[in-house]
Amino acid sequence: MAVNIYTQISTRIIKEQALIIGPIAWDEARKVSGLTIADQTESGVTLIGNPRDVVNRLVAQYERLFGKVSSETCKDAVLDLLAELPNDQVPESLK
């Protein structure tokens, strides 16, 4: 599966979190290993390494700070994108 879908997933998760917690969502995303953010657009977000692991780390970063509700927000934000992935390609944190 193309990394592009994981870039879309990551970007949408960050933007959804930003609606709730503001610009700190982007600051927290920048702390995630394997995630590089040049700017706050989809083309500005790059995943390095295993994209599923990067998405899992992103969700975990928000969950550590803001609790389980944060991970549910992440799931809800990307439901339509997850439908495009085979079940074995869906990051564990979003199942």
pLDDT in tens, 19-57: 999 999 999 999 999 999 998 877 889 999 999 999 999
Q: How many angstroms separate the CA atoms of 57 and 44, rounded?
A: 18
Domain of residue 23 covers 3-94
The SS3 call for residue 33 is coil
- Which tokens is 32 given? 């995630």
| Number of domains making up the chain | 1
Q: How far apart are the first and last CA of the chain?
A: 17
Q: How many angstroms separate the CA atoms of 21 and 88, rounded?
A: 31
Q: How many angstroms separate the CA atoms of 4 and 9, rounded?
A: 9
Q: Give bridge partners of residue 88 from the DSSP assignment.
A: none
pLDDT in tens, 51-75: 999 999 999 999 998 899 999 999 9
